[in-house]
A and B are shown apart, each in its own frame.
Chain A
Amino acid sequence: MRLLSFFSVGILFGIIMTKSEAISWFRIHEMFRFESFHMYGIIGVAVALGVIIIAAMKRLKVKTWRGEFVKYKALPLNPTRHLVAGSIFGLGWALMGACPGPMFVMLGHGFGIIALMILSALLGTFTYGLLRHKLPH
């Protein structure tokens, strides 16, 4: 039952990503060229409301399905790691116009080449798994 709920939220995610046009290669390119407010508006509203939602859930002591209060296990701060890892990700994001969530949504749209991108992303993840102990964290 719970898995079905997560599956349903996934469907909702696929529809929202499509209708928001955030999965569009063209929208991402336009965003990095600063030629439209569209993507900034989406992210800005999502984050502003997200901050309010999380703060409200914490203050109202909302219990999650797992019977816990809302918490966040923070990453240890390491600016080099965050900036370098983020930049590597950004290079791929701008080239392909798709980040991980949209990659799965685009696959659902029937763009077969995205299956290759996902396989390649798995190879990138595997490579990170092999090199992890050699990288600064």
Chain B
Amino acid sequence: MELVSNTQNIVDFISQPWHWAVSGAAIASLVFFLTWMGRRFGVSTAFQDLCKIAGAEKFADYFRYDLKNSYWRLAFIAGAIGGGFLASTLLVNPETIELSTATVAHLQNDWGISAEQGGGFLPVDLFNFSNPKGILLTIIGGFLVGFGARYGSGCTSGHAITGLSHLQLPSFLTVIGFFIGGLIMTWLIMPLIF
């Protein structure tokens, strides 16, 4: 009984909203683990691996390499899916995400989007399979992320976290790019299409 109640306490403890400093330290611990395990934290290379598995090497030499060095990454993303499932079932926040009131007001007043949609994770009224506009935006957004991440040889994990941890100038410039594109989308394009 004591074990059960202790376990419940731990689950409750993890389930409460995390302070940003705790989250940042937790991400840094991933950098430590993966580096110690002899690998470099970076997720978007998995796109290249998945294309290769789907047979892309017949079409471009970019996909001609030994997949053996990527098994760890495939295990990692399988875990990420599992972790997402666990977190959304066992470790759900008692409250919705505490966004800034300015963001909540802007979304509601300008675009009619309630910040409580999708448990505070995704505006599901737009992004779902019965909304043609949402489907189109998802296809465009996914394409840009996949193309940009591979052209830049890395995404947020590979450049903003790992590359910067190694004090890499190319990563710093790529992160500047993330923000150039992100700000153009958020301030110039989204007001036109949302």
Contact = CB atoms under 8 A, between A and B. Distances in A.
Interface of A: 2-30, 32-33, 35-39, 41-51, 53-54, 57, 62, 64-66, 68, 70, 72, 74-79, 81-101, 103-114, 116-130, 132, 135
Contacts of B157: 99-101
27 contacts: A3-B72, A14-B81, A21-B120, A23-B121, A26-B97, A41-B20, A43-B160, A45-B27, A49-B25, A49-B31, A51-B165, A53-B28, A57-B36, A86-B159, A86-B175, A87-B148, A94-B182, A100-B44, A104-B84, A105-B87, A108-B83, A111-B124, A120-B142, A124-B150, A125-B149, A128-B147, A132-B62
Given A18-B91, A127-B147, A128-B150, A29 B142 contact: no
Interface of B: 14, 17-18, 20-21, 23-28, 30-40, 43-44, 46-48, 50-51, 54, 56, 59-60, 62-63, 71-73, 75-88, 91, 93, 97, 99-100, 102-103, 106-107, 115, 118, 120-124, 127-129, 134-135, 137-153, 155-157, 159-162, 164-171, 173-187, 189-190
Contact of B80 (A13, A54, A64, A82): A13
A122 to B, nearest CB: 6
